[in-house]
Amino acid sequence: MERKAIDLTTVLGVIFAFALITGAIVTGGSLGSFFNLPSVLIVILGTIAVTAVSFAGSELKATPSLINKAVFRTISDPVQIGTQMIELSELARKNGPLALEQRLPELQGNRFLSKAVGLIVDGIPGDDIDQVLTSEISADHSRNKRAISIIQRSAEVAPAMGLIGTLVGLVQMLANLEDPSTIGPAMAVALLTTFYGAVLGTMLLTPLAGKLDRNANEENLTKRIYAVGAASIARQENPRRLEMLLNTILPPEKRINYFE
Amino acid sequence: MERKAIDLTTVLGVIFAFALITGAIVTGGSLGSFFNLPSVLIVILGTIAVTAVSFAGSELKATPSLINKAVFRTISDPVQIGTQMIELSELARKNGPLALEQRLPELQGNRFLSKAVGLIVDGIPGDDIDQVLTSEISADHSRNKRAISIIQRSAEVAPAMGLIGTLVGLVQMLANLEDPSTIGPAMAVALLTTFYGAVLGTMLLTPLAGKLDRNANEENLTKRIYAVGAASIARQENPRRLEMLLNTILPPEKRINYFE
Amino acid sequence: MERKAIDLTTVLGVIFAFALITGAIVTGGSLGSFFNLPSVLIVILGTIAVTAVSFAGSELKATPSLINKAVFRTISDPVQIGTQMIELSELARKNGPLALEQRLPELQGNRFLSKAVGLIVDGIPGDDIDQVLTSEISADHSRNKRAISIIQRSAEVAPAMGLIGTLVGLVQMLANLEDPSTIGPAMAVALLTTFYGAVLGTMLLTPLAGKLDRNANEENLTKRIYAVGAASIARQENPRRLEMLLNTILPPEKRINYFE
Amino acid sequence: MERKAIDLTTVLGVIFAFALITGAIVTGGSLGSFFNLPSVLIVILGTIAVTAVSFAGSELKATPSLINKAVFRTISDPVQIGTQMIELSELARKNGPLALEQRLPELQGNRFLSKAVGLIVDGIPGDDIDQVLTSEISADHSRNKRAISIIQRSAEVAPAMGLIGTLVGLVQMLANLEDPSTIGPAMAVALLTTFYGAVLGTMLLTPLAGKLDRNANEENLTKRIYAVGAASIARQENPRRLEMLLNTILPPEKRINYFE
Amino acid sequence: MERKAIDLTTVLGVIFAFALITGAIVTGGSLGSFFNLPSVLIVILGTIAVTAVSFAGSELKATPSLINKAVFRTISDPVQIGTQMIELSELARKNGPLALEQRLPELQGNRFLSKAVGLIVDGIPGDDIDQVLTSEISADHSRNKRAISIIQRSAEVAPAMGLIGTLVGLVQMLANLEDPSTIGPAMAVALLTTFYGAVLGTMLLTPLAGKLDRNANEENLTKRIYAVGAASIARQENPRRLEMLLNTILPPEKRINYFE
């Protein structure tokens, strides 16, 4: 009931914003005067280096897969997921919890759900399943938040590196003022690092961190539905009671109406 | 007891602030020198695009109806709403809870109240009504806060996009300093994006987010009056006790004096 | 035991700060070059208009009485108020709670205290008096905080409006650079809105919001003394016990020593 | 076990920082060009006036004694204080709590400790002593925090007053641009208020507020040791148990090893 | 199971970021024009002096060892540490808790673990061990946070000192504008303190504080594993139960599978 798809608002939003800036540059002059290799290196590599100091190598390695998560989002519909749990609940009520074992292979793609169903099949009591899954959800969530903090940190570093690069350029320009005709172009180059830092921070890193934070909260809700469902099935509760339970954690417009 | 009306402070405040700025522009020169299409596009479309990255399409779709809510506010007087609940409570006490069924049609326009009365008519116990409505109020409130965060986010993005646009203009101007007579107008155009970003953020988006936040808190209070009233009616409590309960959550100048 | 008096630190602080700035302006030139009607309108009316958007008309109407509260403060000495409550407690213990009725007329000026004594005379039990007054204190306090947030919001808006006005002036000046001799005066006028915004925010609105916040906390303490006292009298407790209770919520240097 | 001493990091830190700036001024020119009486008055008197608005006269009067507290710190060694309490505990266990009365005169210098011992000698039960002292500690702490907020507020006001002074100077300079040779010196004077505001805020007020906050937390710990000790003595507990209790609130490197 | 190692992301990140800036300086001019002794002294010594004011000498002495901790990190693998505790648990279950005494010498390098094992060998009950170690962990953690706040404070002071230094340079330059050819170099020197402050704050102190904060949280987790393990051993619980307990506090990818 979950599927991967390109996250359109992420991809189109970023592309469109960059296209706007590129358009403004092209209509007002040449793109070439906005490219300066040392400035690019200071802002991009500098941001990576300074951000890296605050984290451990093992944490940084997770960053590409994190960015991947913002671009290729797991689309999960709470109603479908809740309905799936109620179907499993009915199956378990009719044929006994062990009947869920035959459904395990088709759940392989969903690590969390297959683990939850595995616990039911193993005959773990409902309260223990609730505790194990809740502790896993909370651990996953704080790990996600921690990974997102890498992007948030880099969004703060980028404009600061841009400012440092501009200060380097300004000091160099001011120390060599012999030829007034070079002041303009030199200052233009100096401002480029501020520009790169602002673009990187405002148009890429900050919104990316916002989207990842949003997705982490959504993933949290999805997993809570699985956990509530699995605990209810293990307690062999009435599926109607499960529906009622799920509806208290779902947003109003996403209520399940399985039995009506 | 609720009605839609234009929110005068929203509409007049925004119009008056923009009129002041327009007046200052006109008295000091021509309006034309304050309009630059690329700058408008960078700030307005750029703000939309960058804000969109942090949210999902389904969330963004709710934004126009959100802005609508700030312009056409639901005026609800806590005293009238509380009085209405006490009247329903008296009716239910005299003729039994089922007597409320005949009042349902006239409550159609009020989704929350008609749901609350429907629960009473269905004979749901007071504690369950309390729980169901409280969980719905809390879900509605956090959904409102989430929607408002889109406007808050865009209020932060707008000035940043204005700065990026100004940096583009400054770099272009500095890279081509041949003719000193063009410096002034070029810099004026460059400053326009900063101006647009500041106006959009300070005079439109930030106050709008503030008003929406205020309205969400008011809506929350209104719904709590309905929920407290419905639970009290279902528990078949004395209407006088309901009045006392409502007065503890109402502000002092909005106390109900139905029985005196 | 409460009296209204001009709040000297508010009035003298603001007057002195404005006198300092006026002095600096006069010694360095003429006051006239610091007055510009469009700038005054943009900053003052603009701040009012933009602040108004975030609130409802009924809330805004309370602002003048709020400012009045910062200028004419209710001076209340916790020791005097506590002593007053202990005297009432002794009177009630000697002659019975109804004896307080004859004191009601002289308490008319104090809405909260006369309500508290009225509840005792009506024979409401101590725990109920405690609950009613505590809920009223908390409602009053959050209403105060909400009203103060109007001033806080305007303190943030004023410098932003100043910046917007300056941007208008700068763009107008840069778009018409023909006569270099006008650059200076034009820029001086442009800077005036930034100056007005900074003065309004830093020297008037922010300190006013701070004083109102401080007074709201003091009012809260005063009312808690009344509430603790009234509940104790209604419970017909020993006045010595009331003294001990009051001393736990009073600051050490404001302890009551009525019985020693 | 407590003694007053000059707080070396406060005094040397401030002196050294000001010496550095003075040195930089002297090596690059004359001290005279950095002194401007109107600028000094705007920043220093203006900061005092604006800060005063947010507080009451009685609170402001406490400021000099507060600054005194940052310069002449009460040095208190938790280990010595804890050991002192264990000695008193042993004395009380051997000769009865009343034996502590003869120690009262030598504790006169320490208001809090002599009050705590007085309560024991008066035969107040341990739980009541605990409650009385804990409420006093909490009241003292919040009073300290409130007093520190005066310094914190002034640390925010100083740079803002500096900016306002600079705006006054800039507007005056720009309005009278006839003689270009005066631009430099006029702008230098205008910048002086920004300089004064930054120095006052960054190098004096902010670090002072930090030190006072730190001292308030240390004083809090010291008083908690006294309170825990006094309650334990009044309960006539074993001094070894007191040592164990104290070691749970002391930092690891400050543990007491009285009985080993 | 713990070992010291150079923290590669700290060292390489800082070196790489500084190399980038140095490269940009060298390619655009000479390194010499970026060195100015008074500016270096104002920023580095000034930051130290101003930061020192807010702390006590004893706290400042801990700073070098703190920086050392960011460069030479204690690498500790939660899985290895957990496995070690389960092995000790099995040993204690087979041969009795006293058998752990022979393992004490090899644990000397690990202060916390050897203390924990010492408490078990001394026959302290499990609940008391839990309480003692938990209170020590919490005290250590708040001491760490307090030490880190020194670095955080200095990261805020550095850019402010840079700004003050630049204001000194600007005022000196503007007061002596006779020779226009000196304006550029003088302003370059003035900007150097801003540059130093930004580099020190952004590229060194802020990321260092971030890394130290991260390490303190990791150390906290490691010590919690020791404490949970020691309490479980002292309670003579089944080692399988200990494994389950540890897995609830370990991140999902760091789960222990000792018995499978």
What pLDDT, on a 0 to 100 scale, did the predictor assign at position A158?
Answer: 97
E173 has pLDDT over 60 = yes
Find where tokens 């005290």 sit.
Answer: E139
The alpha carbon of residue A256 is apart from the nearest alpha carbon of chain B, in Å, by: 14
What pLDDT, on a 0 to 100 scale, did the predictor assign at position B18?
Answer: 95
Judge contact between B214 and C146, C-beta under 8 A. Answer: no
DSSP A102: G
Distance of CA B249 to the CA centre of its chain: 22
- Interface residue A5 vs chain B (CB under 8 A): no
Average pLDDT over residues B91-105: 86
Pairing status of strand E2-6 against strand D72-76? unpaired
pLDDT band at A148 (very low <50, low <70, confident <90, very high): very high
Are chains E and B in touch, 3+ Cβ pairs below 8 Å? no
In 3-state terms, what secondary structure has residue B117?
helix
**Spatial distance between the Cα atoms of B97 and B89, rounded to a whole number of angstroms:** 9
Of B184, B187, B198, the CB nearest to C163: B198
Do D136 and C207 count as a contact with CB atoms less than 8 A apart? no
Do B184 and C174 count as a contact with CB atoms less than 8 A apart? yes
Judge contact between B120 and B232, C-beta under 8 A. Answer: no
**Spatial distance between the Cα atoms of D85 and D225, rounded to a whole number of angstroms:** 8
E-contacting residues in A 104-143 (Cβ below 8 Å)? 131-132, 135-136, 139-140, 143
Give, to the nearest 10 degrees, the angle between helix E111-121 and helix E206-234.
20
Beta carbons within 8 Å of A257's beta carbon, 6+ residues apart: none
The amino acid present at D148, given as its one-letter code, is I
E strand or H helix at C203: none
Distance of CA E139 to the CA centre of its chain: 16
DSSP D202: I
Beta-bridge partner residues of A74: A4
Do B203 and C172 count as a contact with CB atoms less than 8 A apart? no
What pLDDT, on a 0 to 100 scale, did the predictor assign at position D40?
Answer: 93
Are chains B and A in touch, 3+ Cβ pairs below 8 Å? yes
Of E49, E139, E163, the CB nearest to D17: E49
Find where tokens 């006028």 sit.
Answer: C189
What pLDDT, on a 0 to 100 scale, did the predictor assign at position C260?
Answer: 66
- Higher-pLDDT residue of D144, E209: E209
- Interface residue C172 vs chain B (CB under 8 A): yes
Average pLDDT over residues D100-127: 86
In degrees, rounded to 5, the angle at the alpha carbon of residue C224 between the alpha carbons of residues C219 and C227 is: 130
Find where tokens 């297959």 sit.
Answer: A114
Q: Note the pLDDT tens digit of each residue in D34-62.
A: 999 999 999 999 999 999 999 988 888 88
Q: Which residue from A164, A162, A154 is spatially nearest to A204, judged by alpha carbons?
A: A154
Beta carbons within 8 Å of B87's beta carbon, 6+ residues apart: none
Beta-bridge partner residues of D4: D74
The alpha carbon of residue E139 is apart from the nearest alpha carbon of chain A, in Å, by: 23
Average pLDDT over residues B71-95: 86
Are chains B and C in touch, 3+ Cβ pairs below 8 Å? yes
- Search chain B and give the residue with CA nearest A17: B46
Please, what is the average pLDDT of chain B?
88
Distances from the Cα of B160 to the Cαs of A13, B5, B147, B197, C167, in angstroms? 16, 34, 21, 7, 16
Cβ-based contacts of A194 with chain B (< 8 Å): 167
Average pLDDT over residues A92-111: 84
The separation between the first and the last C-alpha atoms of chain A, rounded to the nearest angstrom, is 21
Other chains touching B, judged by 3 or more CB pairs under 8 Å? A, C
- The encoded tokens of residue A12 equal 């189109």
Provide the b/e sequence for D121-136 (b: ≥16 CB within 10 Å): beebebeebbebbbeb
Q: Note the pLDDT tens digit of each residue in A59-69.
A: 888 888 888 88
Q: Which residues in C110-240 belong to E strands, given as ranges?
A: none
Q: Which residue from D146, D46, D57 is spatially nearest to C73, judged by alpha carbons?
A: D57
- Search chain D and give the residue with CA nearest C17: D46
What pLDDT, on a 0 to 100 scale, did the predictor assign at position E2?
Answer: 60
Q: Is the dihedral of CA B14, B19, B25, B31 positive or negative?
A: positive
D121 has pLDDT over 80 = yes
D14 has pLDDT over 90 = yes
- Search chain B and give the residue with CA nearest A210: B54
Q: Which parts of chain C have pLDDT scores under 50?
A: 1
**Of A198-202, B198-202, C170-174, D250-254, where does mean pLDDT reach its minimum?**
D250-254
E strand or H helix at A72: strand A72-76
Radius of gyration (C-alpha) of chain B in whole angstroms: 26
The separation between the first and the last C-alpha atoms of chain B, rounded to the nearest angstrom, is 21
Q: Is the dihedral of CA E40, E41, E46, E47 positive or negative?
A: positive
In degrees, rounded to 5, the angle at the alpha carbon of residue C36 between the alpha carbons of residues C34 and C39 is: 110
The alpha carbon of residue B171 is apart from the nearest alpha carbon of chain A, in Å, by: 5
Cβ-based contacts of B60 with chain A (< 8 Å): 9
Please, what is the average pLDDT of chain E?
88
**Spatial distance between the Cα atoms of C252 and D3, rounded to a whole number of angstroms:** 23
Of D41, D50, D168, the CB nearest to C13: D50
- Search chain E and give the residue with CA nearest A175: E185
- Interface residue E174 vs chain D (CB under 8 A): yes
Do D184 and E175 count as a contact with CB atoms less than 8 A apart? yes
Residue from B164, B179, B194 whose CB has the most chain A CBs within 10 Å, to mutate: B164
Beta-bridge partner residues of E6: E72
Do A52 and E211 count as a contact with CB atoms less than 8 A apart? no
Do E202 and A164 count as a contact with CB atoms less than 8 A apart? yes
Average pLDDT over residues A218-234: 90
What pLDDT, on a 0 to 100 scale, did the predictor assign at position C205?
Answer: 96
Q: Note the pLDDT tens digit of each residue in D145-196.
A: 888 999 999 999 999 999 999 999 999 888 877 777 778 888 888 999 999 9
Residue from C20, C30, C69, C74 whose CB has the most chain D CBs within 10 Å, to mutate: C20
D-contacting residues in C 8-67 (Cβ below 8 Å)? 8-10, 12-14, 16-17, 20-21, 23-25, 27-29, 33-34
Distance of CA B135 to the CA centre of its chain: 21
- Search chain E and give the residue with CA nearest A48: E13
Q: Which residue from B133, B124, B152 is spatially nearest to B229, judged by alpha carbons?
A: B133
What pLDDT, on a 0 to 100 scale, did the predictor assign at position B162?
Answer: 96
Provide the b/e sequence for D156-178 (b: ≥16 CB within 10 Å): bbbbbbbbbbbbbbbbbbbbbbe
Please, what is the average pLDDT of chain A?
88
- Interface residue E195 vs chain A (CB under 8 A): yes
Average pLDDT over residues A147-173: 94
Q: Note the pLDDT tens digit of each residue in B148-185.
A: 999 999 999 999 999 999 999 999 888 877 777 778 88
What pLDDT, on a 0 to 100 scale, did the predictor assign at position A33?
Answer: 86
Find where tokens 């939850």 sit.
Answer: A116
The amino acid present at A52, given as its one-letter code, is A
Judge contact between B110 and B2, C-beta under 8 A. Answer: yes
Other chains touching D, judged by 3 or more CB pairs under 8 Å? C, E
Of B49, B163, B167, the CB nearest to A13: B49
Alpha helices per DSSP H over B96-205: 111-121, 126-175, 183-198
Beta-bridge partner residues of C75: C3
A-contacting residues in B 214-253 (Cβ below 8 Å)? none
- Interface residue D80 vs chain C (CB under 8 A): no
- The encoded tokens of residue D125 equal 């039960």
In 3-state terms, what secondary structure has residue A6?
strand
In 3-state terms, what secondary structure has residue B179?
coil
Distances from the Cα of B250 to the Cαs of B80, B90, B235, C138, D132, in angstroms? 12, 20, 21, 11, 36
What pLDDT, on a 0 to 100 scale, did the predictor assign at position C65?
Answer: 84
Residue from E122, E168, E171, E187 whose CB has the most chain D CBs within 10 Å, to mutate: E171
Do A46 and E195 count as a contact with CB atoms less than 8 A apart? no
- The encoded tokens of residue E191 equal 């900007």
In 3-state terms, what secondary structure has residue A173?
helix
Judge contact between A118 and A232, C-beta under 8 A. Answer: no
What pLDDT, on a 0 to 100 scale, did the predictor assign at position B2?
Answer: 60
Q: Note the pLDDT tens digit of each residue in E113-144.
A: 888 888 888 888 888 888 888 888 888 888 88
D199 has pLDDT over 90 = yes
Percent of chain A having pLDDT more than 70? 98
The alpha carbon of residue A49 is apart from the nearest alpha carbon of chain E, in Å, by: 4
Beta carbons within 8 Å of C260's beta carbon, 6+ residues apart: none
The amino acid present at C82, given as its one-letter code, is G
Provide the b/e sequence for B126-143 (b: ≥16 CB within 10 Å): beebbebbbebbebbeeb
- Higher-pLDDT residue of A176, D260: A176
The alpha carbon of residue C241 is apart from the nearest alpha carbon of chain B, in Å, by: 29
Q: Looking at the predicted complex, does its ipTM rise above 0.90? A: no
- How many Cα atoms within 13 Å fall on the side-chain side of residue D234? 23
| DSSP helix, strand, coil percent of chain E (3-state; round to 5) | 80, 5, 15
**Spatial distance between the Cα atoms of A91 and A233, rounded to a whole number of angstroms:** 10
**Spatial distance between the Cα atoms of B161 and E117, rounded to a whole number of angstroms:** 59
What pLDDT, on a 0 to 100 scale, did the predictor assign at position B144?
Answer: 86
Residue from E173, E203, E211 whose CB has the most chain A CBs within 10 Å, to mutate: E203
Of B17, B211, B213, the CB nearest to C46: B17
Average pLDDT over residues D87-100: 88
A22 has pLDDT over 90 = yes
Of D42, D54, D135, the CB nearest to C207: D54
Provide the b/e sequence for E226-259 (b: ≥16 CB within 10 Å): bbbbbbbbbeebebeebbebbbeebeeeebbebe
The alpha carbon of residue C169 is apart from the nearest alpha carbon of chain B, in Å, by: 8
Alpha helices per DSSP H over D1-125: 8-28, 37-53, 57-60, 63-71, 78-95, 111-121
Q: Which residues in B173-256 belong to E strands, given as ranges?
A: none
What pLDDT, on a 0 to 100 scale, did the predictor assign at position D260?
Answer: 66
Q: Note the pLDDT tens digit of each residue in C51-92.
A: 999 998 888 888 888 888 888 877 778 888 889 899 999 998
- Interface residue D165 vs chain C (CB under 8 A): yes
**Spatial distance between the Cα atoms of B161 and E172, rounded to a whole number of angstroms:** 36
Look up the pTM and report it: 0.90
pLDDT band at B14 (very low <50, low <70, confident <90, very high): very high
Cβ-based contacts of E173 with chain D (< 8 Å): 184
The separation between the first and the last C-alpha atoms of chain C, rounded to the nearest angstrom, is 21
B250 has pLDDT over 90 = no
In 3-state terms, what secondary structure has residue C5?
strand
**Of C82-86, D87-91, D250-254, E5-9, where does mean pLDDT reach its minimum?**
D250-254
Of C195, C202, C210, the CB nearest to D171: C195
Q: Note the pLDDT tens digit of each residue in E45-79.
A: 999 999 999 998 888 888 888 888 888 877 778 88
- Interface residue A158 vs chain E (CB under 8 A): no
Average pLDDT over residues D133-144: 85
Cβ-based contacts of D51 with chain C (< 8 Å): 13, 207
Do D170 and C191 count as a contact with CB atoms less than 8 A apart? yes
- The encoded tokens of residue D240 equal 């070894």
- The encoded tokens of residue C233 equal 């009298």
- Search chain C and give the residue with CA nearest D189: C28
Cβ-based contacts of E202 with chain A (< 8 Å): 50, 157, 160-161, 164
Other chains touching E, judged by 3 or more CB pairs under 8 Å? A, D
- The encoded tokens of residue D17 equal 């920082």
Torsion, Cα C44 C50 C54 C59, to 10 degrees, reads 30
